[in-house]
Structure 1
Amino acid sequence: MVKFQVHKQKFVSLLLLAFSFFVPQISFAITSQTYSNTISVSIPDNNSAGATSQVSVSSIPSGAAITNFTYGVSIHHTYVGDLRVYIIAPDGTSETIWDNAGGSTDNIYLSGRTTSRFNGLDPNGIWKLKAVDNVSDDVGNIDFWAFKFDYSVTVTVPSINGVSANPNPVNVGVPVTISAQLSGSLPSGYSLKVTFHDGTNWLTTSDTMSAGSNNTYSYTRPQGITQAGSARLYKVEMFNSSGSVVATKQGSITVLEVISNHAPVLTLVTSPPLTIVQNQNFSLSLRATDSDNNLSTIQVNWGDGSNPTPVVQSAIGGQTYTFSHSYSSTGTKGWSARAYDNYSPIASSNQITGSISVTAPPRLCGLSISPYRYS
């Protein structure tokens, strides 16, 4: 974990350039940390409850502490000596900015006033300007008030513990997800981005990663990686709120080239017989072709529970192969044949199927006749 102090200068002097009772005007050199309330609030006469004007601050990072506070106030009243005016911080800390001073003078105009009373406080929350009229007869209004402040905040920057790609290896053009694991939560205003390398240079565009659970971040690249390679690089970078890189970690992906594999085609060269005698040889003539020239085997399953006929290793496409088998039992036997290539994953051809009726040898006068011998 790396810690460092960031001091943000939020001070711009509040300068009251002009004032009108009906339309109070206070002009500022505007920056993002100017807060104000321009709604007029009546101050009750001789009432300790007084009048309150509120301003909400919610945009400051958690852990911020005020280092300087500057304010401006415009109050219309016909006897300012009747008034006590306070600024109250969200935690209840108050600063008296007017304490029954000025006697019979009309109106209070304070501009560019500073105080250290609120130093060290968290600026987030409801700020209040309270005006109390302690004496009867004269009345008035809180017309306008505004404030600015400097603050410092301690930012804890987590480290990038690890990055990963899924799937890895991945085929060219297949979506891939890059993930990063942080040692802690990402500070407000910080971001994680992933950049890919094209094999020659880092791409000029980066993609923002989305937060997941347990301080994980991820980004899915829908188009995947467009070039094959054994170590395609990517990097995950952490950017602070100013856009500077404060941490980086690289990873690599194995990208596989996709080769189009076509299945073999198997054909029956001649029509086999439909009936044979038990123990007589039954033959099939088959031819296989493969447009990728990767033909490996042809396999026949005879359908009688015996092991399939041994495959023809490294079968040459276009040649005719004859497979023979004899059936030891009678009945109808369903046979099938397929061809296979040697690509990974293996592709198989169309399946050719058929059936053969196996009959018992004929008997004549007690003699059993077979195609091979007589008994």
Structure 2
Amino acid sequence: MADFTILHKKAMDLAEKAVLAKIKNDIQNSKSLFEQAYEAERKAAFAYADKIAKEPTRSVLFRSAAALALNAELFREAEQMACLGISGTAPQEILEELRDILEDVHFGRHLKLRGIELEERDIQLSIAGGETGLGVVQSDVFMEKFNTTERLFYRIVERKMKKPFREQGRIENNIKENYQLYLSVPRAASYAVTIRIGRPTTQMMIPGTDVVGDIVAELMENLRLVNEGDEVTLREKIPEDDYYQNFVALAKNLAPDGKKVNLVGFTANLSGEVKELALTRKKAEITPVPLRNKEKTVEITGTLSYADAKNKKIKVTDKKGVDHKVIVDKAILSDIVKPLWEDTVTLTGTIEGRSKEIRLLSIEKAVDNAE
């Protein structure tokens, strides 16, 4: 038992050093330290492997070993540790945490390239969840995620080219043609495709950038900030109000709902280094427009039956036939609201002052309609 205590303490000390290294962006050292911490905790956990009655100590140790392996990107080892923890008589709370680790393990595995070599103008999009299988996915689930990724990409291009925010209408032909997106054949990683970005001509290059690489890097970095809830830094990177609101709203659309889609991931080759991003923040947790104090919110489900782009208003007709007119910010009218035309939607809005008008906060397909 003394050996177990020493091993566990060693693992925790190494894990603390690994976290500090990660904060300093010393990624290689951090990974190495997490591996060493995992080895120590694995040995401590196996001292309890056959002691099924010793709960919750047994499951806590295997949970800790699995988490350390996951941080070290030892996905197979993390899977084994989590399964050993689940195989005992762990308390329900720890069982849920072990299952969450398994989901994270599978998420990391989906992000891997499976022998596919990405060029510097490629990005892999991975989707997994209840509506995906091995190499197959419900078509509208995939198209929603791909179309949202496409809109995010072109908005970044337009902003980097210092174009005024496009409130309506199509993307300029010269931008669409020079930054065309192409899709690979789907791969069996739950569902994964490579998006290849066309290389622009010299006339279309964005000054001061390596063009495609910079756009992909910004896409992944800004999505990471949304995923972490770091609105302050994201505001600094996207100072223009319209572009900021649009990016957050599109990121909300892209995020997993926890039902049909449990995970959305991106893998890209940036300057010769493979980078991965796992979107784990659920769309319900992301609010495109921050609430002001004392604002009342309302939720309405109905058919999106009318849109007035000029006056930035839409109409939703509920099941009782009552029409609800809603004010929509120009930043989300084209990319978020327009694709939902004539769908049954659920919207959240705030009631504006004495006028009692509803201002849109978020809108998406209604659950019954999305199934």
Instruction: Report the structure, 1 or 2, having the larger strand content.
Output: 1
Instruction: Report the structure, 1 or 2, having the larger helix content.
Output: 2
The structure number with the bigger radius of gyration is 1
State if a TM-score over 0.5 links the two structures. Answer: no
Please, what TM-score do these two structures have when normalized by structure 1? Answer: 0.19
